[in-house]
Amino acid sequence: MKILIIEDEIELAISIANYLNCEKYICEIAHSYNDALDKIALYHYECIILDLNLPDGCGFDIIKMLKMNQSTSGIIVISARDALNDKIEGLDLGADDYLSKPFSLSELNARLRSVIRRKHFNGQLEYYYNEIKIQPDIRKVYVNEVLVELTRKEYDLLVFLITNQRRVLSKETIIEHLWGDFMGIEADSYNALYTHMGNLRKKLQEAGSEDYIETVYAVGYKFSLR
């Protein structure tokens, strides 16, 4: 899950990134408004943690831009401006949540989990896809109620496929989702994808699941329940 932290206070940005990295998110940091726009134009982020006061612009304009472009990224505003008006304006513009500084990193993490759960799983704590059950908060997958041990990449891969059910996802789209900042896809990226995909399918089937992942020849993959 890729997260963008837009925050000009470098130490705060780094401490958020370090904390969230331990929580298995992949974090990128933008220290300015323009840096943020560059990153948003290039990559998709699951959630954007957004400071309102930036040296070269205002966070509200970033929310407006995201909404204008129909971005599906979650947005959590973090601001030292503890004014009710800011909070209302942020939420009105389409932010998903608002945290006043200072806040605890565990609080931010809880809000982030909740925003991602709302986006992907309609807010449910667990989600069933026939015999497969996913608990997004704790990143666990079960087949017929028995836990399946997946690696971080296998889990991300499964959730990406499932949340895009019945859509064909190209290999390139999946690679970008799993690894982020690649600047050109190499043979290695495909090999890594094939390995993770193979292991994921094998683990699910060994646990008793049907194989819902369909290989679409020369294009990519599709998850569809039968």
Query: What residues line the site for Ca ion (CB under 5 A)?
Result: 8, 51, 53
Whole-number Å distance between alpha carbons of 215 and 171: 10
Provide the residue type at 96 as one letter.
D
Give the count of beta carbons closer than 10 Å to the beta carbon of residue 4.
24
* Minimum separation from the CB atom of position 49 to Ca ion (A): 12
Strand order in the sheet with 127-129: 127-129, 132-135, 140-143, 146-148
Nearer to Ca ion, 52 or 204 (CB): 52
Residue 32: CB minimum distance to Ca ion, A: 10
Give 35's DSSP letter.
H
Q: CB of residue 167 vs Ca ion: minimum separation in angstroms? A: 38
Least distance to Ca ion, CB of residue 73, Å: 20
Min CB(80)–Ca ion separation in Å: 7
Amino acid at 46: E
CB closer to Ca ion, 13 vs 178 = 13
Cβ closest to Ca ion, residue 8 vs residue 176: 8
For residue 51, the minimal CB distance to Ca ion (Å) is 4
Q: By C-beta, is 33 or 45 nearer to Ca ion?
A: 33
Q: CA dist 154 to 65, 136, 142, 158, 197, Å?
A: 33, 14, 13, 6, 7
Decide the pairing of beta strands 220-223 and 213-216: antiparallel
Order of strands, edge to edge, in the sheet holding 97-100?
26-30, 2-6, 47-51, 74-79, 97-100
Between 53 and 164, name the residue whose CB sits nearer to Ca ion: 53
Q: Which is nearer to Ca ion, 53 or 71 (CB)?
A: 53
Q: Rounded CA gap, 189 and 54, in Å?
A: 36
Residue nearest Ca ion (C-beta atom): 53
